[in-house]
Amino acid sequence: MLTRRTLFTALAAAPLLPRVALAREPEVFQTGGVAINGADPVAYFTTGGPVLAEGRFAADWNGATWHFARAEDRDAFAAEPARYAPQFGGYCAFAASRGYLAPTIPEAWTVYEGRLYLNANLRARELWLEDVPGNIAKGRANWPGILG
């Protein structure tokens, strides 16, 4: 039976109980250690869209393995990863602008002012495109604090 005494005793003991530490999310959106669903980040710039790569050409950067369709793409990325890596770690840029993390799909993308932005789905991309500069500013204000 719950009495005032047992309730107060339980509340007093609460600070002594171990706390579960919440793990920080990886800086790069990845599945099974592979960044951005295996899409070649350089291809967004060179072919104008996503190209899925199988890992024949790969590079490790920022805690994830990045896949590339061609050795030339891998080498370009290795020379300047910040130029080709998607902003907000490849997490949904629209979600970042709203203060949370969401996974992305390769087909929902935008290159704006020489930077790659990915979105969770095509609807999120539509919302993102309504105010790209404003959404970037909001996302930068939230980043990297939303990683946890």
pLDDT digits (tens, 9 = 90+) for 63-110: 999 999 999 999 999 999 999 999 999 999 999 999 999 999 999 999
Strands 30-31 and 64-68: unpaired
In a domain, 5, yes or no: no
Please give the residue range of the domain that contains residue 43: 25-143
Number of domains observed in the structure of the chain: 1
In a domain, 115, yes or no: yes
DSSP reduced 3-state for 63: coil
What value does the mean pLDDT of the chain take? 89
Residue 23: pLDDT band (50, 70, 90) is: confident
pTM recorded for the entire structure: 0.84
In a domain, 3, yes or no: no
> Which residue stretches of 14-110 are H helix?
43-46, 71-79, 81-84, 93-97
Number of helices (H) and strands (E) in the chain: give both, helices first: 7, 6
Angle, CA 39 vertex, CA 55 and CA 43 arms, to 5°: 105
